[in-house]
Structure formats: C-alpha cells, structure tokens
C-alpha cells in the first residue's frame, strides 16, 4: 500500500503545527502581519462536500491498463484522483481548500516494475491519453496538474511501488535505486548497509528519488554531497522511443549529455524508473553549530570566504535579520535554543560587542567526517567567522535545526488555516551580485505588499554555497481571506519577486523547477533560443504532447517551429523564393508576383541576415511600398513576414 500525504495539505493527517508551546509566536505574527493566530483555525474542507466529475476512461484504455499493472493497481476512486490532481504549492492548497479541483486525472495506476511502466505508456500513447508521472506529490511549481482544458484521458502514474535499493557497488560507491523510493525509506535501506545518499531537501520526508531528478532538486547538505544533478550518475527512463539508458561512468565525451536532458525534465521526456546515484559512507561524526553575526553583510562575506577556503563543510546557512527574529519567535519554552537570546547574552552582545540586535543574523554550519577532520574544520571555520565579527553559540541551536528542518511546510498550512498566505521563492546568483539582488528583491516585495494593500513580511536565508555563488531562499507572508481571490494578490507579490530574480542577475529557480508557476520567465532566463531548443526536444520525443503537457514550456506554445530557432531556416527558404520570383518576373518583363517592397525587404534580409521585422520597418521608410498587381491579398498585406509565416505553417 502506497502512503500519501493528506489531500488538502502537507504531510500526514496525524501531524500538524501548534503555536501553544511557543509563547513568542502569536505576538510576533500579530505585530508584523496583523494576524491573530490564537483564534480557532478554519476547519479543513470536508471531502464529502467536493464536487468531483466522473472520470473519462474509455473501456479499451482501462482494459489495457489493467493488463499492464493488474486490476488492483488501477484506481478510479475519488480520493486517489483528488490526491493526484495537484502538488503542494500555495496555489494548489488555496484552490483545493476552495473546492477548485482543476482537471482531475481520470485514473491512477501503480506499476510495480519497469515493464509495467512501458506497458502503461504504450497503452496511453495508443489511446492518445495524457501521462503525468507522480512521485511523492510535494512539487510546488505546478508540475503535477493537467491542463484545465485537457479533453483527452489523463493518467497519473504513481511510482510508489518502485521503492527499492537494487544494488550497492561498494568499490565504485554507487547505488542502483528505483525512482519511487521516498527519502526516509531510501536512507533506511542505504543506512542498513552503512551508506548515505546525503540528499535532504525540505520535502525529504515525502518526496522521491525520481521526483528529485525530474526537478533538479537540491538538499540541505549539498555543500558536501552536491545537488541531485551531481549525485545522479545514470538514469533509466521509459520514453515513447523505448527505454533510455545511460551508463554510470564518472565522465564521458559522447555529445550533449542525455542524462542532463533528463534532469529537470518534469516528465516531459518520459517516466524515470531507476537511477544510479553516488553514495557515501555514513560519517563517524556529525555536528551542526550555531553562529551569530552582527549583520547580514558580515555573514555573506563570511559565507563567501568559507566557500573560497579549504574548509569542507556540509551545510552553510545564514538567516537575514528578519528570519532570525522569526526563528527566535518559534522557539519552544525550555527548548535547546531558549537560552540563545537570554538577557545576559543580549547585554553581552549589545554592551561588549556593540551589536544592534535588530540586525543580528543566525547561522548554521555543518561538519562531518572523522573526529579529527571535524575538529580541524571547526577551527578553520571559526577563524573565518571571527574575522567577520561572528560568534559561535554551540551545538544547541544546530541540534534544534536538525530536528525541525523538515517542519516548515506545516507552518505554512497552519497560517493558511488562520487566514494568511505564506510562500517561498528561491534563486541563485554569483557572490558579486548576491547582496544587490537581496536588497532589490526585498524592496520589490515590500512595494508589492503596498500595491495590494497588506501588511507583509519578507525574510531570507542563504544556503547551498558554490564556488561562484549561492542560493537565496525568500519567504513571504501576509494576512488575507483564503478565498480564490487570494490568488490575485499572491500573484502580484510572487511575480514581483520572480521578476526581481531575472532583473537582478539571478535565475528563476535554484531547486523548485519550472512547472507552470515559473514558465513565463523561462525565456528571460535561458533565452528564446534556449526555449526553442527545449521545444524542439520535447516535440521530437513526444510529438503528440502526451507526456505531462504544459510543464516548462506552456501548453499554448507553438510547436518546435518557433521564431528563435527553426524559423530562421524557414525564413531563408521563403526569402530565396521571393528574390527568385522577383528576378524572374522582372527579367521577363511581366507583372511581378510580389510587390517591390517585399522584394526589397527580402534582398536586404538575405544580404544582411537581420530580422525580417527590422527590415520591414526600414523598407517602409526608405522605399514606399508599391502594391503588386497580381499579389494575393495576404502576401501583399503582410510582406515577407506573412510569407514566412505561411512557410512555417506549410512546413
């Protein structure tokens, strides 16, 4: 039996967030977003009240799916379909709490091996059905939902039965793992043999290896173990062309990396069934220390110097002043961190160190390895921290962070129930642009709060340090009625932050993927030519757009013949035809097939290799158009651009 999260929120039904044992949290939230969290929360929606459309599942397709996976693993019940309709983004949860279920899958299938996955995909393609792979359901970028206007049958392929570690090569330090393995179960299997993957994303408790690969996930200890793109050495993917298999070699020169194409593909190329991943021996010693820095700028410089140094840390995380204050507000009474900001500590920092406590930042840095290695690394990092005014505050804060690191999504759900939107956006940028990007995004978020008329809160932490830069992870919140209208204001704030990433030299996402949430910024991030290459790849593999359509490249996008890529060849062919026709007509002394303006434009384009739109503007000012006597109306009106468009349509 495959376990799933609750259909209307994050995590298990039995787990929830409570503020009762955190005496500072309610006053903090009341002060900063004007919300009273001591009142009774809104009740979870009643499943019986949902208006669920009947599935559209032709009998031949049902029979083929039963043949593929067995009748007991073909589910059309309402609960399974609702669970698989969305991921867990803020938008998803607002919609589902308001009984907006979108386009539900018509059927959920649970294949037990790769052969069954192949049979499911074959059946789907034969029936022209849509296939959406499903791992743990934690995605927050809209990667799991079907397009609302999809009229074909929609199949959710849940990989939960493919959950085993198949083999560990102890010499190569590689493990073969099925794609449906959830994080805890994967670590349990590896740990029993003395190994760890070292990949611990926020979603670890409920996400799968296949989902990590499909979204280019990053874990909290990526400073040592790498992102999932580095951890994944080989993949097996069921595609319309057959099973894609790559070799688990340390490096190769075999053209563009097919493995890399699968990473971050979000189901657009096929269904990941297995991966070979790097594993490491479970370390002898593991410790996470807490540090204070006087300011955010001091902390950023220290993190950069740690990245530049010989230090080999597992975690580098530092919260800005706002997130530090929020962290203090969430402390339990009598917890390991309760003495961190005792009156004595405050007096010391204020009077002796001369700190402004409103600007103080909390950091966590992790160390692993032998006792001697950890000791040496702690010393080296301590020296760097000290040079920038930092102070080590021991293992207590680190232990608390380690215990609670996967709990943040429960806080978001709690706030939703109390009447507040809370969400995240993350990016990566270089060390040289980190501070300006941070300041610019905070300013844009605050301006967006003003625009929608709310008292908002934004905070940030740095994580995932690299040679040339780091990830910045922003969290924002504000009070608002949780109706479908809340999405309008949310989009204003979210878009301001995302556009800030693009304008200020960041990327649209460091580890949350594209999905539908971030697709509108993709061309700005990877260029129109990059989008055209991806479109050509997706359409080449999946010309019927049966594989998770609308993700990464929006569903309404044109096929692979897009302006920045294939269109250039089509334009050239049409231009040649125009020039040739003009020359022949003029030499024969007959009426031209094309007008003088079209021929002039075509010649300039051919000679100078510039964009037709630019040439059309130039010709209109330099050479007044002369209407052609025998031109077709569409060609005479549209010139070279219209002729090229006709060529694209014909091609």
Is 410 contained in some domain?
no
Residue 643, pLDDT above cutoff 50: no
Is 383 contained in some domain?
yes
Q: What is the pLDDT of residue 626?
A: 37
Q: Does residue 86 have an active-site annotation?
A: no
Residue 635, pLDDT above cutoff 60: no
Residues 175 and 230 in one domain: yes
Residues 249 and 295 in one domain: no
Residue range 157-184: mean pLDDT, rounded:
99
Q: What is the pLDDT of residue 566?
A: 40
Q: What confidence category does residue 396 fall into, taking pLDDT thresholds of 50, 70 and 90?
A: confident
Distance CA(486)–CA(494), nearest Å, equals 12
Residues 141 and 170 in one domain: no
Q: What is the CATH number of the domain that holds 435?
A: 3.30.300.330
Cβ–Cβ < 8 Å for 591, 630: yes
Closest CA to 544 of 131, 109, 143: 131
Q: What confidence category does residue 620 fall into, taking pLDDT thresholds of 50, 70 and 90?
A: very low
Least confident of 89-103, 249-263, 559-573: 559-573
Is 621 contained in some domain?
yes
Distance CA(390)–CA(375), nearest Å, equals 18
**Residue 203 labeled ligand binder:** yes
Q: What is the pLDDT of residue 236?
A: 99
DSSP for 507-520?
-S-SSS--TTTSGG
**Domain boundary residue, one of 281, 315, 334:** 281
Query: 10 Å Cβ neighbour count for 589?
Result: 6
**Residue 102 labeled ligand binder:** no
Residues 227 and 295 in one domain: no
Residue range 442-463: mean pLDDT, rounded:
99
Q: What is the pLDDT of residue 573?
A: 52
Residue 527, pLDDT above cutoff 70: yes
Q: What is the CATH number of the domain that holds 369?
A: 3.40.462.40
Please tell me which residue in 110, 291, 473, 490 is annotated as part of the active site: 473
**Domain boundary residue, one of 158, 193, 219:** 158
Q: What is the pLDDT of residue 308?
A: 98
Distance CA(536)–CA(341), nearest Å, equals 56
Distance CA(106)–CA(84), nearest Å, equals 10
Which sign does the torsion angle of CA 607, 609, 612, 616 carry? Answer: negative
Residue 619, pLDDT above cutoff 80: no
- Global pTM reads 0.85
Q: What confidence category does residue 173 fall into, taking pLDDT thresholds of 50, 70 and 90?
A: very high
Q: Biggest alpha carbon distance in the chain?
A: 99
Is 555 contained in some domain?
no
Which sign does the torsion angle of CA 514, 519, 523, 528 carry? Answer: positive
Q: What is the pLDDT of residue 418?
A: 97
Which sign does the torsion angle of CA 451, 452, 454, 460 carry? Answer: negative
Cβ–Cβ < 8 Å for 530, 508: no
Cβ–Cβ < 8 Å for 442, 458: yes
Closest CA to 458 of 325, 356, 292: 325
Q: What confidence category does residue 397 fall into, taking pLDDT thresholds of 50, 70 and 90?
A: confident
Distance CA(393)–CA(291), nearest Å, equals 5
Residues 598 and 635 in one domain: yes
Extract the tokens encoding 342.
Answer: 């005792």
Structural domain range at position 339? 285-405
Angle at which helices 567-588 and 633-650 cross, to 10°:
140
Cβ–Cβ < 8 Å for 329, 22: yes
Residues 260 and 357 in one domain: no
- C-alpha 373: how far from its chain's center? 35
For 14, the 3-state DSSP assignment is: coil
Residue 568, pLDDT above cutoff 80: no
Is 34 contained in some domain?
no
Residue 338, pLDDT above cutoff 80: no
Residue 587, pLDDT above cutoff 50: no
Least confident of 120-129, 257-266, 336-345: 336-345
Is 412 contained in some domain?
no
- What does each C-alpha distance from 100 to 10, 52, 412 come to in angstroms? 17, 10, 19
Residue 451, pLDDT above cutoff 90: yes
Residue range 130-156: mean pLDDT, rounded:
98
**Residue 202 labeled ligand binder:** yes
Closest CA to 195 of 166, 180, 173, 177: 173
Q: What is the pLDDT of residue 334?
A: 66
More confident: 192 or 569: 192
Is 336 contained in some domain?
yes
**Residue 215 labeled ligand binder:** yes
Q: What is the CATH number of the domain that holds 176?
A: 3.30.465.10
Distance CA(554)–CA(370), nearest Å, equals 49
Cβ–Cβ < 8 Å for 311, 289: no
Residues 289 and 268 in one domain: no
Distance CA(144)–CA(400), nearest Å, equals 33
**Residue 97 labeled ligand binder:** no
Strands 154-158 and 130-134: parallel
Is 559 contained in some domain?
no
Tell me what percent of the residues of the chain surpass a pLDDT of 70.
84
Residues 348 and 450 in one domain: no
Residue 58, beta-bridge partner list: none
Residues 143 and 180 in one domain: no
Distance CA(414)–CA(9), nearest Å, equals 10
Q: What is the pLDDT of residue 586?
A: 43
Q: What confidence category does residue 346 fall into, taking pLDDT thresholds of 50, 70 and 90?
A: confident
277-296 residue pLDDT tens? 999 999 999 999 999 999 99
**Residue 24 labeled ligand binder:** no
Q: What is the pLDDT of residue 555?
A: 72
Closest CA to 474 of 503, 439, 513, 526: 439
Residue 480, pLDDT above cutoff 60: yes
- C-alpha 242: how far from its chain's center? 27
Element (H, E) at 158: strand 154-158
- What does each C-alpha distance from 440 to 294, 435, 496, 559 come to in angstroms? 21, 9, 10, 36
Number of domains in the chain: 5
Residue range 382-390: mean pLDDT, rounded:
98
**Residue 208 labeled ligand binder:** yes
Residues 120 and 47 in one domain: yes
Residues 205 and 133 in one domain: no
- What does each C-alpha distance from 410 to 361, 406, 407, 416, 431 come to in angstroms? 24, 9, 6, 10, 32
Least confident of 362-366, 405-409, 460-464: 405-409
Residues 246 and 302 in one domain: no
**Domain boundary residue, one of 405, 433, 467:** 405
Residue range 301-327: mean pLDDT, rounded:
97
Extract the tokens encoding 161.
Answer: 């039965």
- What is the overall mean pLDDT for the chain? 88
Q: What is the pLDDT of residue 596?
A: 57
203-242 residue pLDDT tens? 999 999 999 999 999 999 999 999 999 999 999 999 999 9
């Amino acid at each position: 039996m495959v376990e799933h999260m609750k259909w209307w929120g994050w995590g298990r039904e039995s787990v929830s967030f409570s503020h009762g044992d955190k005496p500072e949290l309610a006053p903090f939230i009341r002060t900063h977003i004007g919300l009273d969290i001591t009142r009774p929360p809104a009740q979870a929606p009643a499943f019986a009240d949902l208006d669920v459309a009947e599935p559209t599942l032709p009998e031949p397709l049902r029979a083929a799916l039963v043949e593929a996976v067995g009748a007991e693993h073909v589910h059309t019940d309402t609960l399974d379909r609702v669970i698989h309709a969305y991921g867990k983004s803020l938008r998803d949860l607002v919609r589902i709490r308001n009984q907006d279920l979108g386009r539900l899958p018509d059927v959920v299938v649970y294949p037990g091996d790769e052969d069954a996955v192949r049979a499911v995909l074959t059946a789907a393609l034969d029936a022209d059905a849509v296939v959406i792979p499903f791992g743990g359901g934690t995605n927050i970028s809209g990667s799991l939902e079907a397009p609302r206007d999809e009229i074909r049958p929609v199949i959710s392929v849940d990989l939960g039965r493919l959950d085993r570690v198949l083999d560990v090569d102890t010499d190569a330090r590689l493990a073969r793992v099925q794609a449906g393995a959830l994080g805890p179960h994967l670590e349990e299997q590896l740990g029993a043999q003395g190994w760890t993957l070292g990949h611990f994303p926020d979603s670890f408790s409920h996400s799968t290896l296949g989902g990590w690969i499909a979204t280019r996930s990053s874990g909290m200890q990526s400073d040592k173990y790498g992102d999932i793109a580095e951890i994944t050495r080989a993949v097996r993917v069921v595609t319309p062309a057959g099973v894609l298999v790559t070799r688990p070699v340390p490096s190769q020169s075999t053209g563009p990396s097919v493995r890399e194409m699968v990473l971050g593909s979000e189901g657009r190329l096929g269904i990941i069934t297995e991966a070979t991943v790097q594993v490491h021996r479970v370390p002898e010693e593991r410790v996470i220390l807490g540090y204070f820095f006087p300011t955010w700028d001091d902390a950023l410089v220290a993190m950069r110097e740690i990245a530049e140094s010989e230090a080999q840390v597992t975690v580098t995380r530092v919260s800005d002043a706002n997130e530090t204050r929020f962290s203090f507000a969430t402390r339990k009474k009598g917890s390991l961190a309760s003495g961190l900001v005792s009156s004595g500590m405050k007096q010391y920092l204020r009077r002796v160190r001369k700190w402004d406590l409103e600007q103080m930042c909390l950091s966590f840095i992790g160390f692993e390895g032998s006792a001697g290695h950890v000791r040496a690394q702690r010393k080296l990092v301590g020296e760097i921290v000290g040079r920038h005014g930092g102070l080590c505050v021991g293992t207590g804060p680190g232990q608390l962070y380690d215990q609670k690191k996967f709990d943040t999504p429960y806080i978001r759900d709690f706030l939703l129930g109390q009447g507040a939107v809370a969400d995240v956006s993350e990016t990566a940028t270089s060390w040289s642009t980190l501070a300006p990007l941070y300041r610019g995004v905070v300013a844009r978020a605050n301006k967006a709060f003003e625009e929608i008329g709310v008292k908002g809160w934004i905070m940030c932490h740095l994580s995932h340090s690299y040679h040339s830069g780091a990830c910045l992870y922003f969290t924002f919140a504000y009070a608002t009625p949780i109706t479908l209208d809340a999405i309008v204001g949310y989009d204003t704030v979210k878009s301001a932050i995302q556009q800030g990433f693009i304008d200020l030299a960041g990327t649209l996402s460091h580890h949350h993927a594209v999905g539908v949430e971030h697709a509108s910024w993709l061309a700005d991030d990877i260029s129109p030519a990059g989008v055209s290459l991806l479109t050509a790849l997706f359409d080449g593999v999946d010309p019927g757009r049966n594989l998770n359509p609308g993700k990464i490249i929006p569903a309404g996008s044109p096929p692979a013949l897009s302006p920045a890529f294939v269109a250039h060849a089509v334009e050239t062919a049409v231009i040649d035809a125009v020039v040739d026709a003009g020359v022949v007509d003029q030499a024969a002394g007959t009426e031209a097939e094309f007008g003088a303006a079209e021929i002039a434009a075509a010649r300039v384009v051919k000679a100078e290799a510039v964009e037709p739109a630019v040439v059309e503007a130039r010709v209109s000012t330099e050479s007044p158009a002369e209407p052609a006597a025998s031109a077709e109306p569409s060609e005479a009106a549209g010139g070279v651009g219209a002729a090229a468009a006709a060529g694209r349509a014909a091609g």
